[in-house]
Amino acid sequence: MTDENEERIIRFGYTGNIITSMDSFLSGKPSHLCIQAIRKTTVKTASKKDFFEFIQKNEDNLHFWINILEDLVLQQLEREKDLLISSPGERFERVLKRSPKLFQEIPNKYIANYLRMSPETLSRLKKS
């Protein structure tokens, strides 16, 4: 999202992830969030109506949806913890333990933005 003309990264997606602007999906209103691909990406879309028809077809599909929602809540709680930690080193360590593939797949400038630190600080932390 953009905050005072500065882009703020709040989440990353990986191969096979479902990415959505959940606020817009649930409310039907435009979102303040923007989804941007930084690598070659294949996008598949579904309308809200089609998606809900899919999850209501059988119990497995409903469990699929419940798992997505549970995972999203847990991810959001972890992200909130990250943002409350004032030390860049602690934020780096938490994210490194939770998402090691982040550092293999995402360029440092995006990770630094996500961690709310300068690219130079991230580089120093990675070296130590």
What is the pLDDT, as a whole number, of residue 42?
A: 87
pTM for the model stands at 0.81
* DSSP secondary structure, the chain, as one string: -EETTEE-------TT-----HHHHHH-S--S-----SS--------HHHHHHHHHH-HHHHHHHHHHHHHHHHHHHHHHHHHH---HHHHHHHHHHH-TTHHHHS-HHHHHHHTTS-HHHHHHHHH-
User: What is the residue range of 36's domain?
Assistant: 2-127
What value does the mean pLDDT take over residues 45-67? Answer: 94
What is the pLDDT, as a whole number, of residue 52?
A: 94
What is the pLDDT, as a whole number, of residue 64?
A: 93
pLDDT at 30 > cutoff 80: yes
Q: How many domains does the chain have?
A: 1
pLDDT in tens, 38-47: 888 888 888 9
What is the pLDDT, as a whole number, of residue 24?
A: 92
